[in-house]
Structure 1
């Protein structure tokens, strides 16, 4: 029974309806024939109760009879049924019509109820509930109806649409949260250099009033104010960079992976030499071509490599690894590595920790966003021995 039910659920709406209709039509036909046959027998039994009126006969010699003659009827007619029998007869005749019609009505109701419950009830309720949730801006639900028929495909399409809208809303929510974090960071970090500048201005004003402002004091104060102003300038540049990356259009094309690796390693080698660091390259890639945005990928790698230059002691390692679907660039240094807090927050906007030299955490933030725009991921970890490791994984 379960197999038949599952088979009907996976049939198309039209095919399953026709199949059920033919099945019930067959049952109705059999019941109607049996009923008519039975009622016909009843009709015949009623007719058999009519009196017989002989209208013509003949006589034949028969020695066995008392007078030697036997009367043989040749013509006869049936008499009329009684009023009660006639009513009974016509009632049976009417039932021969009523019962098949009754069977058809009952079968139609059963088919409609069974068809609705089997094919329509669950998907329509799921879709109705889904639209109600969406109207209330609640996407935290799931359409679970699964079937190969038209409504099953409609539910799959609806679930796909809900999932895409959920992802879009989630992405928008994350962007809003990042905007809030950016706004909070701007408010917090701008306050410090502005306070420093105001403090120096107040100090200069009071020194002038007291007549104790010397050239050395003025020079030192102006230098400190210039440093605070430089921090403000650098901070504004960082904010502009973040605003610009949201408008970046990714243009993927096919590039020779080996040539790309050769170019970036040459550039990184020159930078490492300038900073008196050793660069070790391990290329385990096998793919000849990779589809990506070359300029964006270069920017991501350059940002991460710049951090490795600042925090490494003597050595940086660049490893290119490959799986069936991805190419990974792993940049490792031999510095102090990430703290537990940095592992979770170092790629956030403007994260600052005592170990990053007071620099804004803009490089990793931009790299993470650009990497995601490429359809890849960027994640941080510490090396088992010591030092930090940043992995940029992109799809081929």
Structure 2
């Protein structure tokens, strides 16, 4: 019975409307036949009550004979009302029943097939108009209205996801701007101090030439630092426009490119590089350029801190490509693990001569998430750090 009811609920709107009309019209026809038949029979009984009859017995044709000249239609008031009602039923019951069946079928069809989904769609439209996407549309029929509700739910989910991504991008831009502003304060303060110092002492001749040159060199270094930070900021903001494109990539070719990049970063270094490659498929649907950009940033950090050993891991797990870089450097301090992905954070072990932008892991995180994956940092049991990026396969 449950399957039958569910099957009826899943009928298309057209078929359901035809079914409702057929059932109600057939019911109206049946009730009409019964009503007209009963009304006619009762009218005959009433007629016989006032008009006696006699029977002519004929072997071939027995019949009831009325004296037409003496037909009595002078009914009592009560019987007259009853006779009028029966004549009304005989004349008007059929159109009344059919009209009533059509109206009832339409009302029942609307209540069972249209009322709930229309209400759901109207409420969803009002919520979306009011920028409220924290709701769900659930309608368990598979007819046209059910599919429409399902499509609207998918649209709502997509809008909600896009809204969250937009909000996340705005928040990320705020954090990036705040970090950039904070990072600019130091060189600007130094430049302001040197400028005031030179304005006070150069006009009076109290500042020797060699000190002027030394101060100008220091100011030049700070200007260069500002330029590097501005370039880094521009590069970070351009990440928002990056669109990843999935292609069928030959893994041997991708591995060869990654090894070439590794050789470039480790050229002249004294530590050993070990590759741990376990690729179970020859081709994968990924964005090779995006993976290469992530690897460049990971190698830049690893080559900066590695001492004697650096290991690169490349392997598949279900639905993901794993790219991990292990080094035997300082590892991540508790503060580093909290702030590693914060823009312009350079780590506790960075020194003044190391002028990296502090955007490497932030760029990696942004690119990996665009590829539908995640990135994690950890410390090795034997010392050093590990950064693992997971790229979702297409």
1:81 aligns with 2:73: yes
1:3-152, aligned counterparts within 5 Å?
Answer: 3-52=3-52, 77-78=67-68, 79-84=71-76, 85=79, 88-152=82-146
SS in 2 for 1:154: helix
1:305 aligns with 2:299: yes
Q: Match for 1:367 among 339, 349, 364? A: 364
Which structure is richer in relative contact order (CA contacts within 8 A, separation 6 or more)?
Answer: 2
- The question of whether the paired residues in 2 share the 8 Å contact of 1:380 and 1:389 is answered with yes
Aligned residues: 380
CA drift of 1:289 comes to 1.6
What TM-score does the superposition give when structure 2 sets the normalisation length? 0.85
Per the alignment, do residues 76 and 224 of structure 1 end up closer, same or farther by CA in structure 2, a change over 3 Å counting?
closer
- The question of whether the paired residues in 1 share the 8 Å contact of 2:228 and 2:357 is answered with no
Quote the Cα distance in structure 1 between the aligned partners of 2:53 and 2:32.
36
Quote the Cα distance in structure 1 between the aligned partners of 2:104 and 2:331.
73
Q: Which region of structure 1 is more displaced relative to structure 2, 106-115 or 13-22? A: 106-115
Quote the Cα distance in structure 1 between the aligned partners of 2:141 and 2:82.
53
Per the alignment, do residues 109 and 356 of structure 1 end up closer, same or farther by CA in structure 2, a change over 3 Å counting?
farther
CA drift of 1:111 comes to 2.5
Quote the Cα distance in structure 1 between the aligned partners of 2:207 and 2:251.
63
Quote the Cα distance in structure 2 between the aligned partners of 1:354 and 1:105.
85
Quote the Cα distance in structure 2 between the aligned partners of 1:323 and 1:108.
62
Quote the Cα distance in structure 1 between the aligned partners of 2:336 and 2:122.
46
What is the RMSD computed on CA atoms of the aligned residues?
2.9
Quote the Cα distance in structure 1 between the aligned partners of 2:21 and 2:65.
52
- The question of whether the paired residues in 1 share the 8 Å contact of 2:336 and 2:348 is answered with no
Per the alignment, do residues 273 and 75 of structure 1 end up closer, same or farther by CA in structure 2, a change over 3 Å counting?
closer
Structure 2 segments unaligned to the other structure (5+ residues): 57-63
CA drift of 1:379 comes to 3.1
CA drift of 1:199 comes to 0.5
Per the alignment, do residues 113 and 387 of structure 1 end up closer, same or farther by CA in structure 2, a change over 3 Å counting?
farther
Deviations 1:280-328 (A, max 9, x none): 1111112112333433321210111110111223221111110233211
**Equivalent residue, structure 1, for 2:59:** none
Per the alignment, do residues 141 and 261 of structure 1 end up closer, same or farther by CA in structure 2, a change over 3 Å counting?
same
Quote the Cα distance in structure 2 between the aligned partners of 1:86 and 1:237.
105
Larger Rg: 1
Quote the Cα distance in structure 2 between the aligned partners of 1:337 and 1:16.
68
SS in 2 for 1:254: strand
**Equivalent residue, structure 2, for 1:380:** 377
SS in 1 for 2:276: strand
Per the alignment, do residues 264 and 51 of structure 1 end up closer, same or farther by CA in structure 2, a change over 3 Å counting?
closer
Per the alignment, do residues 198 and 8 of structure 1 end up closer, same or farther by CA in structure 2, a change over 3 Å counting?
same
**Equivalent residue, structure 2, for 1:321:** 315
- The question of whether the paired residues in 2 share the 8 Å contact of 1:254 and 1:291 is answered with yes
CA drift of 1:385 comes to 4.5
SS in 1 for 2:180: helix
Per the alignment, do residues 18 and 371 of structure 1 end up closer, same or farther by CA in structure 2, a change over 3 Å counting?
same
SS in 2 for 1:307: helix
Structure 1 segments unaligned to the other structure (5+ residues): 57-73
- The question of whether the paired residues in 2 share the 8 Å contact of 1:197 and 1:225 is answered with yes
CA drift of 1:50 comes to 3.1
Quote the Cα distance in structure 1 between the aligned partners of 2:135 and 2:65.
86
**Equivalent residue, structure 2, for 1:200:** 194
Quote the Cα distance in structure 1 between the aligned partners of 2:202 and 2:187.
23
- The question of whether the paired residues in 2 share the 8 Å contact of 1:146 and 1:156 is answered with no
What TM-score does the superposition give when structure 1 sets the normalisation length? 0.85
Deviations 1:68-123 (A, max 9, x none): xxxxxx97515223233555334212113444444334433432332222111111
Quote the Cα distance in structure 2 between the aligned partners of 1:174 and 1:156.
27
**After TM superposition, what 4+ stretches of structure 1 lie above 6 angstroms from structure 2?**
none
1:283 aligns with 2:283: no
SS in 1 for 2:357: coil
- The question of whether the paired residues in 1 share the 8 Å contact of 2:50 and 2:75 is answered with no
